Amino acid sequence: MRSRIWNEIKQTRPFRSIEEEAALSIVRTAAELEHTFAQAIKGYEVTSTQYNVLRILRGAGSEGLCRNEVGQRLVRQVPDVTRLLDRMEHLDLIARQRGGKDRRYVTTTITKKGLDLLKKLDEKVDAINEDLLGHLDPERLKQLIALLDAARHRP
């Protein structure tokens, strides 16, 4: 039985491999999730990557994180984390402060404005996740997470 990806992308010839079909299905699903999320936050003048930074910094608490730690935790890697943080600081969503002993170490924290923005978006994001994935029961979601983990961390 053919998967739905065949119809969605109007595939007429067999895929070269089952791995190709799986990869395209993952990419197609990710694109749909990303598009829906981007549309939902469009009016808030923040990108999905900036939103990701805000969530990371909220999770870090008042201690904050250095630029490298923020970059390592991003869902989607970006080539220039410094420039991303510069833009966010300009928008007053984050604040940066140089360390006492080592002036090269710069701690990044989320501002009140950033926290307020996340608070506005939390309910909307929860609704998106529920809409896109809520039809799957918790056991299937756990299986999906495990399969995606396994796909990302090959031996």
pLDDT digits (tens, 9 = 90+) for 19-77: 988 888 999 999 999 999 999 898 998 999 999 999 999 999 999 999 999 999 999 99
Q: Coil, strand, or helix at residue 137? A: coil
| pLDDT tops 90 at residue 87 | yes
Retrieve residue 50's tokens: 């900036």
Which of 67 and 8 is assigned the larger pLDDT? 67
What confidence category does residue 155 fall into, taking pLDDT thresholds of 50, 70 and 90?
confident
Q: For residue range 95-104, what is the model confidence (pLDDT) as tens digits?
A: 999 876 666 7
Sorted by where each begins, the domain ranges of the chain are 5-152
Nearest C-alpha neighbor of 117 from the set 97, 94, 95, 96: 94
Q: Where are the strands (E) in the chain, listed by range?
A: 65-66, 94-98, 106-110
CA–CA–CA angle 137, 42, 49 (5° rounding): 75
What confidence category does residue 4 fall into, taking pLDDT thresholds of 50, 70 and 90?
confident
Count of residues for the chain?
155
Second CATH level (architecture) for the domain 5-152:
Orthogonal Bundle (1.10)
DSSP strand pairing (65-66 vs 106-110): antiparallel
Q: For residue range 103-120, what is the model confidence (pLDDT) as tens digits?
A: 677 899 999 999 999 999
From residue 9, give the alpha-carbon distance in Å to each of 6, 38, 125, 133.
6, 22, 27, 21
Interacting residues of 57 by C-beta distance below 8 A, sequence separation 6+: 64, 65, 70, 94, 108, 109, 110, 114
